[in-house]
Structure 1
Amino acid sequence: MEEEFEELKSQNSFDIKALAFRALNYWYLFVITLGIAFVATYFYNKQLERIYRVESLISIKEEQNPFFSSSMNLTFNWGGASDKVETIKTILKSRGHNENVVRVLESYIHYKKQGEYRLEDIHTNAPFIVSLDENHPQILNTPIKIVFTGDQKYTTTIDFTNAESFSSINYKLNKAVGIIPKEEVFSDDFVIDEEAATDYYKFALTPRRNTNIEVGKEYFVVFTSLNSEISKYRAIAVNLKVQGASMLVLSLTGPNRAILADYLNVTSEILKEKQLEEKNQFATNTLAFIDKMITGVEDSLRKDELKLKKYKQDNKVFNPSLKGEEVFAKLNKYSIEKNDYMLKLQYYKLLEDYLINSTDFRSLPAPASSGIEDANIVNNVSKIVGLSIKRAKLGETVKNDVFFKEIDQDIQSTKSVLLESVKSARSSIDIDISNVNTRTARANAEFRKLPEEEQQLFNIERSYKLSEASYTLLLEKKNEAGIVKAANVSDVKVIDSAKDLGQGSIMPNTQKNYSVALFLGLLIPMAFVFLVTILDNNINTPDDIKNLSNIPILGIVSRSRAETNLAVFENPKSSVAESFRGIRSSLQYIYKNIDKNKTKTVMVTSSVSGEGKTFCSINVASVLSLTGKKTILVGLDLRKPKIFGDFGITNEFGTVNYLIGQKTLDEVIQPTKYENLDIITSGPIPPNPSELLISQQLDEFIGELKQRYDYIILDTPPVGLVADALDLIDHVDATIYMIRQDYTKKAMLNIINDKYKKGEVKNISLVFNDYRQKAKYGYGYGYGYGYGYGYGSYGNGYHEDEQKTVLSRLKSLFRKNKN
């Protein structure tokens, strides 16, 4: 059982070495497929659109105002760098921001020219600029061909034949609608700098500076939708330059480096301006609040000034008494003090109303605009304004309420703290105002003792001084706010602007494509070779024989270059002749247990026709005859006679005639021109070859031959097709079983293996025929095999005649005519 398993395992093993040599034999397939793969990849890479990557570098840093100090009570620097980095990353990928950039650049207008494989975007290299009427529908995604017919004239053409549906867009409303062309090809003529208005577009075309317009050259303009452009550029990559640092690398990929560079630079500039605008929001609110208050104070000051001047002129009162000056100074001081408190109280009331009734606190003015220096209120107002701005900015890009929860909580808690602080501050101011009122009342008692004219003068002058002081304070605060706003710088700084430096493309990956071509160029022929190897059921190497059978190999015969089957006689020094000498030696080893004086018989058979039985029979007989021993070659392949052709003898009579009693042995034996070698051909084809080979006459036939010859070589039929050869085994001392390289099927050995295993055949050996060196199997001696001669046909045979080359047929005919 174990032996059977080992035999089956050996039969099913895969010969890697044979596969490798077979692959080398098909080297031309590898060259062809690799050539096709590389050529195809070259053209494939050539026609693919090149994709480039362009980058820019910006920094995000909270820039402190150089004019801000503790003496300036306005505070509107808020937020932090780390928070801003994440916020700005979100802004750069937001729809709102990218829509602004797209509209500024008008990147939905594409200038193109015909390239080798496609329309290519030429951007600012176009010699003209298209100025759209954005209120008029413009045809979408359809090339408008522009050809200049003169210095001031051009023709536009739209081909509608290659698409089924069309649409146009109103860029002002960002609304697209379907259109139905009225003709297959639309064409019209226009003049440069004049508006070109049609049902499909409306724009003016103006020459670009420092460019020359070539008459007759074709250009194309393509309008794309806002949404598609925004979606394309929202794919901008925003990454930290170094982890933990507030520097961002912005990168875009696309087919035109100049367009990418322009977009990155504009997106950075718009971001920079937007950040500065938001940073100045607090100062802008404060300035607006102060301007509103100044307007009212200016009116009061102007009226008080006119009233004071008129009163002095009418009453001739110019030099008040010393007592009056003293009382006036007190009243003026108390009035200014109370006015300051009232200004603060007014701000607190405004702030309280705003906090209670509003949800957006971006418009709150700075507390310092009303002279409030309470650090708690100042910081919290700044904080709640910053949170409101942050929330509004987040609202442009995020629609999920979950993201606002934390900010809303911070705003609510800051609002609660502010309301408590305002309540406390208002109570404190009320006390301060009450104290000022008490002191003012005492000063007024003294004031009423003064003369009537002097009292009226002091009242008018006091009102004027109060308005003047308020006006001066407001101007001071306005100047502070203006200085701080003017000195503000954006927290976004461009470190490296994007540039078209002729960067190499990132796509297509030509090296990868060539690697794939190499892989496929090797894989396809290798798969073919592997498939051929797997499907190859032929016996190709001696190792195949060893794996398939336990029958010993008697010898290996290489391919003969002789023109006939007489390889030993015609080329005695050839390797084929040496191969048969080796077989002769091996046969002597088999015959060692047989009496030297006794006749030795050899039977040559195979699985099927065409494996070289006749070739081997002839040359084994030839090599044995050269030893000086009387040798006879007997043709027992009664269905397909062959051995007569090479010796120039006839097949009109032979073994069949003897077996049926028509001829005697002497009459069927035909001598050859070679010493010690006689031939008995098969003779005419009988109707009952099998019965003849098992008849009593065959026994007598072999017996008589043994009395006359030292060696008898029997050329028998194939055992795989008929059972005739098996019936002859009892008459022979040794059996040669032929296997032909790349011809004999592996399964064909099953019959003889079974017989050998059961002990039904003895002294059987295998001869490997037609063996070649440097062949697709990697083994052999480097010689050919000229097998293929034979005359006549079977009629009722088991195979068609083997095909002959034209040359071999001509030579055969020549020999026949000669004989």
Structure 2
Amino acid sequence: MEDEFEELGQQNSFDIKALAFRALNYWYLFVITLGIAFVATYFYNKRLERIYSIESLISIKEEQNPFFSSSMNLTFNWGGASDKVETIKTILKSRAHNENVVRVLQSYIHYKEQGEYRLEDIHTNAPFIASLDEDFPQILNTPIKIVFKDEQNYTASIDFTNAESFAGINYKLNKASGIMPKGENYAGNFVMNAEAATDYFKFALTPRRNTPIEIGKEYYIYFTSLNSEISKYRSIAVNLKVQGASMLVLSLTGPNRAILADYLNVTTEILKEKQLEEKNQFATNTLEFIDKMIIGVEDSLRKDEQKLKKYKQDNKVFNPSLKGEEVFAKLNQYSIEKNGYTLKLQYYKLLEDYLTNSTDFRSLPAPASSGIDDPNIVNNVSKIVSLSIKRAKLGETVKNDIFFKEIDQDIEATKRVLLENVKTARSSTNIDIANVESRTARANAEFRKLPEEEQQLFNIERSYKLSEASYTLLLEKKNEAGIVKAANVSDVKVIDSAKDLGQKSILPNTKKNYSIALFIGLLLPLAFVFLVTVLDNNINTPDDIKKLSNIPILGIVSRSRASNNLAVFESPKSSVAESFRGIRSSLQYIYKNLSKDKTKTVMVTSSVSGEGKTFCSINVASVFSLTGKKTVLVGLDLRKPKIFGDFGIDNDTGVVNYLIGQKTLDEVIQSTKYDNLDIITSGPIPPNPSELLISQELDEFIAELKLRYDYVILDTPPLGLVSDALDLINHADATIYMVRQDYSKKAMLNIINDKYKKGEVKNISFVLNDYRQKAKYGYGYGYGYGYGYGYGSYGNGYHEDERKTLLSRLLGLFGRT
């Protein structure tokens, strides 16, 4: 027996099924909470500012100049596509770049109008443009209301109510300063196209083309700080379109699609211009270098030309001899060669001084500008310029020296190699000059044999030719550099520009919010039901009884709708009457070991008052009487007598009178209007009920009743409140222990369980009273006839109270019957 009760305790676990059906019973709570959650979410979504996402697509590809040739050497390697992509990603998110874009767009000037819930940014839909005096501190984060009286005149006003202090910003210097309002409000009248100057703002409004002014409508101008705008747009997302491809997707999020599209388009345009400018830097440096050299050569050429012209006029020498022409051609050729080598030496000297004394090599001219085609020098100059530009870009975005360490090491290594290249090239060039000078010396020996006039003419003409050749060479190189610069295209190409196409908002995420509302709407009532279930100490279902006790269940009695306790007599076809017939049948199993002729006694008790023991006693007695068996119902609850009222009899005399010897048995027995059913009420309330119930007189009383009746039904006091019922158990062949749904506490069964465990009570069974077919417990009809579970024994159609309206049936599904 002890093992059985240990197993019983282990079975007393949480019932998920019961929780589910209990939740179903509280369907109205789910409807209410879901309704509130969805309505609240609807207004929440409606009030939230719409956030949109706009994208543009660009490609990063090194575009080779179509005019580039090996003789020009005016372009250089930028470090590879992948490196450039990462560099551009960094530039697009840098402060310097975004500040340029913000200033170009003047995105710190906001044009607004009153929306349903807030001031909405209308951007280019505003009918005017504000031209700021950016040296004047404009008032920050405070709306300036603009109302037009007509197309030329408007009122500008500011509401300072509840404001403690304000700040102004000088956009030119990006410097904030304090502003103290003079009074609660400001208002002034101004004219379009004329400057509106106040203590709080200074701008001129000009009409925007193709956007009409609405007279009387309220517009607003709103200034934000330069830093806040830069910070906002530095959040631009820059991602690779496809991994490994040099295509970038630029995306911005914000409340105005048109503003986002404009910003993305301007940011790519500025990026393109900047990249082209940097790509042209080498050619620009070369052009500047050549221009400086041309100035000196032009001066020499002009002087030589005048000198040659004057000599020919003065000496009347115009046609030199054939021999002189030949020698002159040689000397002229040697001079041009020497001049070329000298130009190279000048470049080597410039390059060496630059590498030795400078740290920024972005301004180095191309070697081709001096006729240098040494691949080592050309490539290394290109490399060091590229590294210097890369370092300068990095300096715009990062301040930590650790990021410059590797690139500085590369620059230093390239510089050392380049200095060695220059040293080698200079030695080689000096050898070339010596060679030219040797040939020139031999030609000069021949030259001195010519007539004096021819020698002087050839000297002047040679100087002129030399200047002319130098000038022509420089012009040629300048044209080459100009062609390369003009033909250069940016490595940034816009594939898809950003456009306002009426894209749907990404925030608020209405589906997500409604999903959260659904979750909360279900969770709150479910949590309530769970709490109710956990804290519920009532006995609700037959399974609850099975988990709490090993005492068998004799039957289940549904809720009675009768006006009194005479359910069997008043509604013989009801499910309640059928329940008691089932209990009567089940009692026969208990009586099977008794003689058929022997009187059977049934004791009805419970844990506390109100669980239906009197109701059960009356109806059990009723069903036995209907079988033709002589039945007596005895009221032994001497403290709280009840059974007399339903039968229309009084309680003046009863068991108490018999036990104290005042009345005989015949005098206390009262007949009812129902055949075979007599009643013995408890009588007047005695001062010592416990003593009377354990007296010998009670034994004699029961014994005498057994001689007269076939069934004796004892209505006893609650076992959980007084000990009287325990003393009466010995007089009963079967004991019915009443348990009421939603009323009896689980802990109340501990007493009877203990008695049953110890063997002090036998032939005891539970009857679950006031049972309703409740969805919240997951149980209903179906506790069968064979076991005495009389609720619904014969099926639908046999019980008169099953004829219900459609509404009552629906309510019955949720325990509202």
- What's 2:151 paired with? 151
Q: Residues 293 and 655 of structure 1: is their aligned pair in 2 closer, same or farther, counting only changes over 3 Å? A: same
- What's 1:316 paired with? 316
Matched, 1:767 2:767: yes
Any conservation in 2 of the 1:558–1:782 contact (CA below 8 Å)?
no
The residue type paired with residue 328 of structure 2 is F
- What's 2:798 paired with? none
- What's 1:178 paired with? 178
Measure, in 2, the Cα distance between the counterparts of 1:521 and 1:88. 48
Alignment of 1:514-533 (within 5 A): 514-533=514-533
Matched, 1:651 2:648: no
Measure, in 1, the Cα distance between the counterparts of 2:428 and 2:706. 148
Measure, in 1, the Cα distance between the counterparts of 2:84 and 2:589. 99
Deviation at 1:160, TM superposition (A): 2.1
Secondary structure at the residue paired with 1:603?
strand
Any conservation in 1 of the 2:250–2:264 contact (CA below 8 Å)?
yes
Secondary structure at the residue paired with 1:39?
helix
The residue type paired with residue 433 of structure 1 is I
Deviation at 1:80, TM superposition (A): 2.5
Deviation at 1:707, TM superposition (A): 2.8
- What's 2:268 paired with? 268
Measure, in 2, the Cα distance between the counterparts of 1:456 and 1:643. 159
- What's 2:811 paired with? none
Measure, in 2, the Cα distance between the counterparts of 1:321 and 1:767. 149
Kindly report the root-mean-square deviation, in angstroms, between the aligned alpha carbons of the 2 structures.
1.8
**Stretch of structure 1 that moved more, 264-273 or 145-154:** 145-154
Q: Residues 677 and 358 of structure 1: is their aligned pair in 2 closer, same or farther, counting only changes over 3 Å? A: same
Measure, in 2, the Cα distance between the counterparts of 1:343 and 1:501. 60
Measure, in 1, the Cα distance between the counterparts of 2:633 and 2:3. 42
Secondary structure at the residue paired with 1:189?
strand
Deviation at 1:731, TM superposition (A): 2.0
- What's 2:497 paired with? 497
The residue type paired with residue 43 of structure 1 is F
Q: Residues 372 and 780 of structure 1: is their aligned pair in 2 closer, same or farther, counting only changes over 3 Å? A: closer
Deviation at 1:78, TM superposition (A): 4.1
Measure, in 2, the Cα distance between the counterparts of 1:534 and 1:334. 111
Deviation at 1:588, TM superposition (A): 2.8
Deviation at 1:327, TM superposition (A): 3.2
Measure, in 1, the Cα distance between the counterparts of 2:173 and 2:86. 32
Residue by residue, what CA displacement relative to the aligned partner does 1:271-317 show, whole Å, maximum 9, x if unpaired? 11111111111111111111111111111111111122222222323
**Stretch of structure 1 that moved more, 89-98 or 161-170:** 161-170
Secondary structure at the residue paired with 1:554?
strand
Any conservation in 2 of the 1:720–1:748 contact (CA below 8 Å)?
yes
Deviation at 1:444, TM superposition (A): 3.1
**Stretch of structure 1 that moved more, 702-711 or 541-550:** 702-711
- What's 2:400 paired with? 400
The residue type paired with residue 414 of structure 2 is T
- What's 1:67 paired with? 67
Deviation at 1:256, TM superposition (A): 1.1
- What's 2:8 paired with? 7
- What's 1:692 paired with? 692
Measure, in 2, the Cα distance between the counterparts of 1:327 and 1:580. 148
Deviation at 1:72, TM superposition (A): 3.4
Measure, in 2, the Cα distance between the counterparts of 1:660 and 1:318. 176
Any conservation in 1 of the 2:4–2:550 contact (CA below 8 Å)?
no
Any conservation in 1 of the 2:756–2:762 contact (CA below 8 Å)?
yes
Any conservation in 1 of the 2:617–2:713 contact (CA below 8 Å)?
yes
**Stretch of structure 1 that moved more, 447-456 or 272-281:** 447-456
The residue type paired with residue 32 of structure 1 is I
Alignment of 1:416-815 (within 5 A): 416-781=416-781
Measure, in 2, the Cα distance between the counterparts of 1:430 and 1:598. 147
Secondary structure at the residue paired with 1:678?
strand
Q: Residues 593 and 130 of structure 1: is their aligned pair in 2 closer, same or farther, counting only changes over 3 Å? A: same
Any conservation in 2 of the 1:632–1:677 contact (CA below 8 Å)?
yes
Matched, 1:38 2:9: no
Any conservation in 2 of the 1:75–1:378 contact (CA below 8 Å)?
no
Measure, in 2, the Cα distance between the counterparts of 1:456 and 1:414. 49
The residue type paired with residue 389 of structure 1 is I
Q: Residues 25 and 310 of structure 1: is their aligned pair in 2 closer, same or farther, counting only changes over 3 Å? A: same
Measure, in 2, the Cα distance between the counterparts of 1:335 and 1:735. 140
Measure, in 2, the Cα distance between the counterparts of 1:125 and 1:539. 71
Residue by residue, what CA displacement relative to the aligned partner does 1:502-548 show, whole Å, maximum 9, x if unpaired? 11111221111111111111111111111111111111111111111
Matched, 1:204 2:204: yes
Measure, in 2, the Cα distance between the counterparts of 1:253 and 1:154. 34
Residue by residue, what CA displacement relative to the aligned partner does 1:331-386 show, whole Å, maximum 9, x if unpaired? 32222222222111111111111111111111111111111122221222122111
> TM (normalized to structure 2)?
0.93
Any conservation in 1 of the 2:165–2:181 contact (CA below 8 Å)?
no
Measure, in 2, the Cα distance between the counterparts of 1:494 and 1:155. 43
**Stretch of structure 1 that moved more, 623-632 or 168-177:** 623-632
**Stretch of structure 1 that moved more, 363-372 or 621-630:** 621-630
Measure, in 1, the Cα distance between the counterparts of 2:316 and 2:589. 165
**Stretch of structure 1 that moved more, 78-87 or 21-30:** 78-87
Residue by residue, what CA displacement relative to the aligned partner does 1:695-721 show, whole Å, maximum 9, x if unpaired? 232223223323322222111110100
Q: Unaligned stretches of 5+ in structure 1?
A: 784-819
Secondary structure at the residue paired with 1:728?
helix
- What's 1:119 paired with? 119
- What's 1:103 paired with? 103
- What's 1:801 paired with? none
- What's 1:807 paired with? none
Deviation at 1:162, TM superposition (A): 4.1
Q: Residues 625 and 510 of structure 1: is their aligned pair in 2 closer, same or farther, counting only changes over 3 Å? A: same
The residue type paired with residue 353 of structure 1 is D
Q: Residues 587 and 423 of structure 1: is their aligned pair in 2 closer, same or farther, counting only changes over 3 Å? A: closer
The residue type paired with residue 738 of structure 2 is M
Measure, in 1, the Cα distance between the counterparts of 2:324 and 2:553. 148
The residue type paired with residue 549 of structure 2 is S
Any conservation in 2 of the 1:772–1:782 contact (CA below 8 Å)?
no
Count matched residues: 782
Secondary structure at the residue paired with 1:679?
strand
Secondary structure at the residue paired with 1:557?
strand
Q: Unaligned stretches of 5+ in structure 2?
A: 784-817
Residue by residue, what CA displacement relative to the aligned partner does 1:257-281 show, whole Å, maximum 9, x if unpaired? 1111111111111111111111111
- What's 1:219 paired with? 219
Measure, in 2, the Cα distance between the counterparts of 1:116 and 1:417. 69
Any conservation in 1 of the 2:78–2:84 contact (CA below 8 Å)?
no
Measure, in 1, the Cα distance between the counterparts of 2:78 and 2:330. 42
- What's 1:295 paired with? 295
- What's 1:382 paired with? 382
**Stretch of structure 1 that moved more, 740-749 or 659-668:** 659-668
Any conservation in 2 of the 1:771–1:781 contact (CA below 8 Å)?
no
Secondary structure at the residue paired with 1:187?
strand
Measure, in 1, the Cα distance between the counterparts of 2:304 and 2:481. 28
Any conservation in 2 of the 1:160–1:181 contact (CA below 8 Å)?
yes
Secondary structure at the residue paired with 1:63?
coil
Q: Residues 584 and 421 of structure 1: is their aligned pair in 2 closer, same or farther, counting only changes over 3 Å? A: closer
Any conservation in 1 of the 2:5–2:550 contact (CA below 8 Å)?
no
Secondary structure at the residue paired with 2:49?
coil
Measure, in 1, the Cα distance between the counterparts of 2:360 and 2:739. 99
Q: Residues 664 and 74 of structure 1: is their aligned pair in 2 closer, same or farther, counting only changes over 3 Å? A: closer
Deviation at 1:600, TM superposition (A): 2.2
Measure, in 2, the Cα distance between the counterparts of 1:589 and 1:420. 119
Deviation at 1:745, TM superposition (A): 0.9
Residue by residue, what CA displacement relative to the aligned partner does 1:449-482 show, whole Å, maximum 9, x if unpaired? 4443333222222221211111111111111111
- What's 1:811 paired with? none
Measure, in 2, the Cα distance between the counterparts of 1:395 and 1:332. 51
Any conservation in 2 of the 1:77–1:279 contact (CA below 8 Å)?
no
Measure, in 2, the Cα distance between the counterparts of 1:73 and 1:168. 53
Deviation at 1:753, TM superposition (A): 1.3
Measure, in 2, the Cα distance between the counterparts of 1:489 and 1:706. 121
Secondary structure at the residue paired with 2:397?
coil
Secondary structure at the residue paired with 1:396?
helix
Measure, in 2, the Cα distance between the counterparts of 1:756 and 1:585. 23
Measure, in 2, the Cα distance between the counterparts of 1:213 and 1:121. 16
Deviation at 1:161, TM superposition (A): 2.3
Any conservation in 2 of the 1:139–1:166 contact (CA below 8 Å)?
yes
Deviation at 1:440, TM superposition (A): 2.8
Deviation at 1:330, TM superposition (A): 2.9
The residue type paired with residue 9 of structure 2 is L
The residue type paired with residue 738 of structure 1 is M
